[in-house]
Chain A
Amino acid sequence: MRDRKIQLNLNGRSVSLVAGDNTTLLHALREYGLTSLKRGCEEGECGACTVIMNGLPEKSCLILVAEAEGADILTVEGLIKDGRLHPIQQSFIDEGAIQCGYCTPGMVMTTYALLLKNPSPDEEEIKEALSGNLCRCTGYLSIVRAVKKSARIMAGLSEGSE
């Protein structure tokens, strides 16, 4: 195994990091300092390490860091703009969709990707899109409410900006 230098576009900034060939993107980003990605299972079974890579939500524990060379990576750290939470983050707070918070960054990122693709998902679409992200605390219903609320707010925002 050898170390290599990886260049990627992380939350809008060009970043280079050094990591071993068999290192997962999850480990490399955590080592780099992005601890919002959690190692809940490291086998793709929980979703606590979800990132958006080149526009698609993915589980960073199932990606080797070398594959991310040149990729656009968005994590929850990248959602805060000018010190303000993204409407998805705010909706999760407002709806009581957060308890322990360990799944939250992953949930928020999967929601972000969903709303990018489908700005007004129905309940079944929300559940399908988030079905790879586990939460043991909330029972999920409050998260569904939060996603719906995010969609409404974001629809309002984009109308406003037009």
Chain B
Amino acid sequence: MKNIKTNTGVGKWLPRKFDLEKAAGTLQFADDLRFGPELLHAAVVRSSIPHGEILSIDTAQALEMPGVVKVLVGEDFPHHFGLYLKDRTPMAIGRTRYCGEPVALVVAEDENTAREAVKRVRVNYKKLEAIFDPVKAATTNTVLVHPELHKYEHVDFITPQPNTNIGNWFRIRKGDAEKAFGEADHIFEETVTCPQIAHGFLETLCSICKQDPASGEITIWTSAQSAFTVRDIIAKGIGYPLHKIRVVAPPIGGGFGGKAGMTIEALCLAAAMDKNIAGRPVKLFIPREEVLLTSWVRQGFVAKIELAVNNDGLIQAIRNTFWFDTGISAEYGANPVRSAGYTSMGAYNIPNVWSDCYAVYTNKPFGGAYRGFGLPELMSALEVVIDIAADKLHIDPVEFRKKNLLRKGQTTCTGMPMHDHALDKIIDRVAASLKISQKEPPLRKGWKRGKGIALAIKAPAIPADASSSAIVKLNGDGTVEVLAATMDMGQGTYSAYAQIVSEELGVPYDWIKVYYPDTQSHPYDWQTVASRSCWSMGMAVKRAACDVREKLIALFSEYWQVSCDSISIEYGVIKCRKLGKNERIDERVQNGFKMPDGVLKGGPIIGTGSFTPPDIIYPDIDTGQSAKSVVHFTLGAIGVDMEVDPGTGKIVINRAVAGYDVGKAITPINVRGQIEGGTVQGLSACLMEAMAYDENGKLLTPDFTDYKIATFKDAPAEIEAFWEETPEEISPYGNRGVGEHSMIAPAPATNNALFNATGMRIHSYPLSRERVFKALHAKERGETDFWEWPYALDLAFRKAKKEW
């Protein structure tokens, strides 16, 4: 039994860990680490064509430059890497598959020389036909991005389709969708598209690798979300034992999924492991204009959704086809597809579900993890389709959603019963706060004002056995050190862990230090992704802190000769009211207690805690059915009050109201931060973000000059952020994740508000000014729906659509 007192425990508003160093500018990110004059610098030679055979690579001119140490090519490091599917090599070998793919790596004494030498490497290609459109790539096999797909190793729960461009095909077959569609009173069929988008973290990517030439041991300092997964992927890729690879993850400047899995580490390692280089550290800094060519992007998305609804307004069935454009690699992109698949009923109770979700290879940069992991794309489509159905059935969109809400005990599309949640209460608050059914005059002359709502739902899309562990060390003065290999990339997890330790151990928050991950010192954690850290690692930290408390109290119990339950820890002081004892934690916790029997007992107190989700069952490959497909869902809703200038297509968000059922807010300051930040990131994606290519697959938006993200002046004037706390059963404090969820529904809520304002439905994101203007023009011509294919240059796409 816990007997502690603290005023800095779970649920308190406290200053965040490491904010002091961040404000002072002293926190060192990977690019800020110093390695002395031995440090070498690498720069990347990139493919200038989207698909082709590499005939020759002429490195002679580059090697002639003073300061150039080495130029490596793909064959020099022929290892395949991948989290779920090993379809990626750090550099192209024999064949390049996208414009910008690394084909060679220059290593030089300084960064400028490396960059200059890159320009002197000549590569000859034989061009092959390329494919950019995911639907065309999936429905025709004229171009195969990975003819060797059948050879790649992959985990059991994904199903690549050899001799096609499908890297994963996830299916849901629940009930009898065909019958339900046959009998339904109303059928709605809609298509929605989302482009590839970029994470836009402010810190680009940076790795430094070094190999000890004698022992062969490798050290990697890297801007990664998941130190242990980097280590795993590299170990498996190069066939190395884990204990010979050390991954140090300094603080990262934003991740949002873009630094999950492994990004550039193997590419940098290729140089560090070269036999002529080994021993010297090699740094690979990716400049802004190369980030999107080197790291994950959010997958492009094409959704065809059919909804069967009866006259009573109850949804009977949904039939989905999702094409996720995963670019040249599905090693990570295979999984957002699954994530969207097993949430393809949305937040609704739909008895019959048929979903086909594909990760489709194209000759573009690779898609992978991005905040929301398949759900922002899916909800950007589904929540608009729900709105369309409500409108056409003349049912209020809030009422339609509530009527069909997936409530406790009803089953998701995998057959898993939904747990308790407060989504209906959240919807009511959003609707009331925005006066959502009340038409209000625009604040700007000549503009049109509208309001819209959308729901969000997401489960952590993790392997069934994704585990966490933590160590809590009690120092000889009562201060505490926590080793939990979560990356605090701004979401504030270390504050949460410190509050958890304070809650369990009764020591003040300020006494608790949490360290950035290092596989050498920290115990294992799978990844800092999936909004899982406060929950999964939170459980491990809680257990480790309890372990310390129990050990500490057991020692005092023997020392004072009282029962454990008469001892309490209050604000860092050990007390026994019965005996009137009142002692500070001192060096005895380190060096042992002289017990009444004269024996020295104790020694340094270390608490450990581990957690693995106990009861997850992978969905059946053919039907997607599983009684517990995921650990839990976080649900929520966002309402948007916006207005649009019909003359230019410009949208201004007046106000957003967003709430999520987080189970328990461990660190309220972070929950608010995640809701505000995710809402703006979601609005930014909605209004302006898209990766664009020319007809040769060359990225036209590589940097912040043309890849625009929201500025201060694009953010809404006000965001009302709130949360409900319906506790989760298997969870440290009933808490569920919220980091990603705020990003899921701002886009469809805005799109629904645009319809409310103008009567026009836009089926293609982003709702850029130009697109909105064109759509409102089309409205004047009597059209009600508007879309622009993301790959307008690929006319075959339209044809492919007819083949559905």
| CB contact under 8 A between A137 and B677, given known A35-B32, A89-B23, A92-B19 | yes
Residues of B within 8 A of A139 (CB): 676-681, 715, 719
In the complex, residue of chain A having the shortest beta-carbon distance to the beta carbon of B684: A136
Pick the residue among B15, B22, B669, B711 that contacts A134 (CB under 8 A): B711
| CB contact under 8 A between A96 and B202, given known A46-B704, A139-B719, A142-B676 | no
B653-686 near A? 1/0 per residue, CB < 8 Å: 0000000000000000110110011111100000
In the complex, the answer to whether B704 meets A43 with C-beta atoms within 8 Å is yes
In the complex, the answer to whether A45 meets B704 with C-beta atoms within 8 Å is yes
Q: Does A60 contact B (CB under 8 A)?
A: no
In the complex, the answer to whether A141 meets B719 with C-beta atoms within 8 Å is yes
In the complex, residue of chain B having the shortest beta-carbon distance to the beta carbon of A31: B34
Chain A: how many interface residues by the 8 Å CB criterion?
51
Residues of A within 8 A of B705 (CB): 43, 45
Residues of A within 8 A of B18 (CB): 101
Report the separation of the CA atoms of residues A76 and B679 in the bound assembly, to the nearest whole angstrom.
29
Q: Does A135 contact B (CB under 8 A)?
A: yes
In the complex, the answer to whether B19 meets A93 with C-beta atoms within 8 Å is yes
Q: How far is the CB of A57 from chain B (nearest CB, A)?
A: 14
Within 81-112 of A, Cβ neighbours of B (below 8 Å) are at: 85, 89-90, 92-94, 96, 98-105, 108
In the complex, the answer to whether B669 meets A136 with C-beta atoms within 8 Å is no
In the complex, the answer to whether A77 meets B202 with C-beta atoms within 8 Å is no
B259-295 near A? 1/0 per residue, CB < 8 Å: 0000000000000000000000000010111000000
Chain B: how many interface residues by the 8 Å CB criterion?
59
B549-568 near A? 1/0 per residue, CB < 8 Å: 00000000000000000000
B240-253 near A? 1/0 per residue, CB < 8 Å: 00000000000111
Residues of B within 8 A of A52 (CB): none
B474-506 near A? 1/0 per residue, CB < 8 Å: 000000000000000111100000000000000
Which applies to chain B's interface (DSSP): helix, strand, loop or mixed? loop
| CB contact under 8 A between A100 and B201, given known A94-B15, A134-B711, A139-B676 | yes
Q: Does A42 contact B (CB under 8 A)?
A: yes
Report the separation of the CA atoms of residues A109 and B638 in the bound assembly, to the nearest whole angstrom.
34
Within 172-222 of B, Cβ neighbours of A (below 8 Å) are at: 199-204
In the complex, the answer to whether A138 meets B704 with C-beta atoms within 8 Å is no
Q: How far is the CB of B696 from chain A (nearest CB, A)?
A: 24
In the complex, the answer to whether A100 meets B254 with C-beta atoms within 8 Å is yes
Residues of B within 8 A of A85 (CB): 20, 23-24
| CB contact under 8 A between A100 and B19, given known A41-B704, A136-B254, A139-B681 | no
**Which of B201, B285, B718 counts the most A-chain CB atoms under 10 A from its CB?**
B201
Residues of B within 8 A of A89 (CB): 23-24
In the complex, the answer to whether B202 meets A38 with C-beta atoms within 8 Å is yes
B3-21 near A? 1/0 per residue, CB < 8 Å: 0000000000001101111
Report the separation of the CA atoms of residues A99 and B709 in the bound assembly, to the nearest whole angstrom.
17
Pick the residue among B28, B202, B704, B717 that contacts A103 (CB under 8 A): B202
In the complex, the answer to whether B254 meets A93 with C-beta atoms within 8 Å is no
Report the separation of the CA atoms of residues A101 and B27 in the bound assembly, to the nearest whole angstrom.
8
Report the separation of the CA atoms of residues A3 and B26 in the bound assembly, to the nearest whole angstrom.
28
In the complex, the answer to whether B202 meets A102 with C-beta atoms within 8 Å is yes
In the complex, the answer to whether A38 meets B253 with C-beta atoms within 8 Å is yes
| CB contact under 8 A between A136 and B719, given known A41-B288, A43-B704, A104-B22 | no
In the complex, residue of chain B having the shortest beta-carbon distance to the beta carbon of A99: B490
In the complex, residue of chain A having the shortest beta-carbon distance to the beta carbon of B488: A100
Q: Does B571 contact A (CB under 8 A)?
A: no
In the complex, the answer to whether B253 meets A141 with C-beta atoms within 8 Å is no
In the complex, the answer to whether A39 meets B31 with C-beta atoms within 8 Å is yes
In the complex, residue of chain A having the shortest beta-carbon distance to the beta carbon of B291: A41
In the complex, residue of chain A having the shortest beta-carbon distance to the beta carbon of B200: A136
In the complex, the answer to whether B202 meets A134 with C-beta atoms within 8 Å is yes
In the complex, the answer to whether A101 meets B713 with C-beta atoms within 8 Å is no
In the complex, the answer to whether B25 meets A136 with C-beta atoms within 8 Å is no
Q: Does B804 contact A (CB under 8 A)?
A: no
In the complex, the answer to whether B680 meets A140 with C-beta atoms within 8 Å is yes
In the complex, the answer to whether A42 meets B287 with C-beta atoms within 8 Å is yes
Q: Does B703 contact A (CB under 8 A)?
A: yes
In the complex, the answer to whether A136 meets B32 with C-beta atoms within 8 Å is no
Q: How far is the CB of B430 from chain A (nearest CB, A)?
A: 17
In the complex, the answer to whether A135 meets B23 with C-beta atoms within 8 Å is no
Q: How far is the CB of A152 from chain B (nearest CB, A)?
A: 18
In the complex, the answer to whether A102 meets B203 with C-beta atoms within 8 Å is yes
In the complex, residue of chain B having the shortest beta-carbon distance to the beta carbon of A47: B202
Residues of A within 8 A of B703 (CB): 41, 43, 45
In the complex, the answer to whether A136 meets B24 with C-beta atoms within 8 Å is no
Q: Does B515 contact A (CB under 8 A)?
A: no
Report the separation of the CA atoms of residues A76 and B673 in the bound assembly, to the nearest whole angstrom.
23
Residues of B within 8 A of A126 (CB): 712
Pick the residue among A39, A102, A140, A142 that contacts B254 (CB under 8 A): A102
Q: Does B29 contact A (CB under 8 A)?
A: yes
In the complex, residue of chain B having the shortest beta-carbon distance to the beta carbon of A41: B288
In the complex, the answer to whether A93 meets B23 with C-beta atoms within 8 Å is yes
Q: Does B256 contact A (CB under 8 A)?
A: yes
Pick the residue among B25, B252, B254 that contacts A76 (CB under 8 A): B25
Q: How far is the CB of B530 from chain A (nearest CB, A)?
A: 18
List the 10 shortest-distance A-B pairs measured between CB atoms, nearest first: A36-B25, A101-B22, A102-B253, A100-B490, A99-B490, A139-B680, A45-B704, A35-B32, A89-B23, A76-B25
Residue contacts A-B, CB under 8 angstroms, 24 given: A35-B31, A38-B29, A38-B253, A41-B703, A42-B287, A43-B704, A48-B202, A77-B26, A85-B23, A89-B23, A96-B16, A96-B673, A98-B490, A99-B673, A100-B201, A101-B253, A123-B717, A131-B711, A135-B202, A137-B490, A138-B673, A138-B677, A139-B715, A142-B672
